[in-house]
Amino acid sequence: MTKFSRLFSGVAVAAMTLLTPGLAAAQSASWWYEALTPEQQRLLDDTLVAGFNASHPGSTLALEYRGNAIENQQRLALMSGGGPDIINSNGPATALPMAKAGQLLKLDDYAAKYGWNERLIPMFLELGKVDGVLYSIPKNYEAMGLFYNADLFAEKGWTAPKTVAEMETLADTMLAEGMTPFVAGNAGFRPANEQFFTVALNQLVGPTAIHEALAGKRAWTDPVFVDAMQKFKAWYDKGYYGKDYFSTSTIDAFAGMVTGKTGMAPQGTWAFSWVKDYFDPAGAKAAFTSIPVAEGVPYPLFPIGIGSTLSINAHSPSPDTAAQVIDYVFSGDFYGAIVPQWQGEWNVPLADLSKVTLKGEVTPLYQEATTMIADALASGNYGYTTWTFWPPKSEQYIISGVEELWLGTATPEKFLTGLQELFAAELAEGSVPPLP
């Protein structure tokens, strides 16, 4: 589920009451979807819905665009024993409590039947397991990197920074020229806060210390994290994230890179769709690379995440049809149809893309980025995103806590003490998602 999808105005399905069971007929599978633009809806109708229905006689996929309130609608519906057949969650941390509450169906038999264990990247499949049982499968995976305007950098004689020191020097230069160094803003989407926290934590601390903390072997109050949060706040105080962070959307700030208003974008791979929307029409050239890292942190480094997961409602009357739909999402036919038209969103974790035929052109930049990220994953140079590897309450604490840290109502020590207390409780109750 795209991290900024709730910014778009989706067209909700009329006359749907919140607690209506909503479970589909025997040979039909329902799937409630998030807010999308009309163009994105048309694209899914033409590729996902039409493609599945045409290739599965006797089975039907009903895709319902529920708008911005889908997460709450789905949660309440599941609590009442209803909801769609296919459950689309925001990631492993969201799916985990659903599985523990008995709201999701075990998928191990379907995984064996359809060969998902062999077809999908093992690391991502493991993230959907609870106590060794598979309950959710990643719909897509994401990576955080650094986007920038290649034309502007060439004109200024700048090079993409590889170290934090180089990044700070470049950011100071941008400030001196009246630019906002980082593409940033949380207007209309407060969870943007955790994206910048994710990037800063990974680039300053590195994946080893983060993994240790997520495994409960290192406290979040450790000096290495305190130092990182002090630096994170210092960047905000210097204006790296802009003076209008709380009244600007990240999408608008991203568009500012085309004109030179903003300098570089520490963003997820979902932003490739923004490249198409803003850079291509302007004839500007975008570039993508690893986030810069501090001394001792491996480079290149890409914090990875799961944009959304797919599960089957435990009360679905047509689980076999729902499994067919999920299997179709992981097919070469669907991948080949959707990726050229919607780059960055449907990065399905297929283990082998050599036999996939793309039904359209994919930009060289996107191809370069996916290769770069795949190589980093293979070598273990990946970090951790909050929306994938932190438990739910800790994640929400970070989203709000970043603002308190930046605005000075909480010191780095206070912010991290609160996180440690909450995380320790969630770790004890088994709410921390699996770690690769």
- 267 part of a folded domain: yes
Cα angle value 379/382/385 (rounded, 5°)? 160
The pLDDT of residue 361: 85
Distance CA 286, CA 150 (A): 5
The pLDDT of residue 68: 75
Q: Please give the structure tokens belonging to residue 249.
A: 């959307």
- What is the mean pLDDT of the segment spanning 412-430? 98
- 99 part of a folded domain: yes
Residues 318 and 260 in one domain: no
Residues 44 and 13 in one domain: yes
Give the model's confidence band at 3: pLDDT under 50 very low, under 70 low, under 90 confident, else very high: low
- 64 part of a folded domain: yes
pLDDT digits over 102-153, tens only?
999 999 999 999 999 999 999 899 999 999 999 999 999 999 999 999 999 9
Residues 272 and 412 in one domain: yes
> What proportion of the chain, given as a percentage, has pLDDT over 70?
94
Give the model's confidence band at 13: pLDDT under 50 very low, under 70 low, under 90 confident, else very high: very low
**pLDDT exceeds cutoff 70 at 192:** yes
**pLDDT exceeds cutoff 70 at 65:** yes
Q: For position 236, which CATH number holds?
A: 3.40.190.10
Give the model's confidence band at 354: pLDDT under 50 very low, under 70 low, under 90 confident, else very high: confident
- What is the mean pLDDT of the segment spanning 286-302? 98
What's the pTM? 0.86
Which of these ranges, 4-13, 38-47, 303-312, has the smallest mean pLDDT? 4-13
The pLDDT of residue 2: 52
- 35 part of a folded domain: yes
| Count of CA atoms in the C-beta half-sphere (13 A) of 19 | 3
- What is the mean pLDDT of the segment spanning 353-380? 90
Contact by Cβ (8 Å): 73, 32 = yes
- The pLDDT mean for the chain works out to 92
In our burial notation (b when 16+ CB lie closer than 10 A, e otherwise), range 277-292 reads ebbeeeebbbbbbbbb
CB atoms within 10 A of CB 239: 16
Residues 357 and 281 in one domain: no
Distance CA 226, CA 224 (A): 6
Residues 355 and 291 in one domain: no
- 326 part of a folded domain: yes
Residues 188 and 267 in one domain: yes
Tell me the residue range of the domain where 69 lies: 5-141+305-378
Q: What is the tally of structural domains in the chain?
A: 2
Q: Which of 417, 388, 413, 409 is nearest to 229 (CA)?
A: 413
**pLDDT exceeds cutoff 60 at 79:** yes
Residue 350 DSSP symbol: B
**pLDDT exceeds cutoff 80 at 24:** no
- 250 part of a folded domain: yes
Residues 45 and 182 in one domain: no
Residues 351 and 371 in one domain: yes
- What is the mean pLDDT of the segment spanning 38-47? 95
Residues 95 and 196 in one domain: no
- 433 part of a folded domain: no
Residues 95 and 241 in one domain: no
- 435 part of a folded domain: no
Residues 373 and 387 in one domain: no
The pLDDT of residue 12: 37
Q: In Å, what is the CA distance from 165 to each residue of 78, 204, 227, 264, 292?
A: 49, 11, 15, 15, 9
* Helix locations, 157-309, DSSP H: 164-176, 192-205, 207-214, 223-238, 250-259, 272-274, 280-282
**pLDDT exceeds cutoff 60 at 9:** no
Residues 81 and 197 in one domain: no
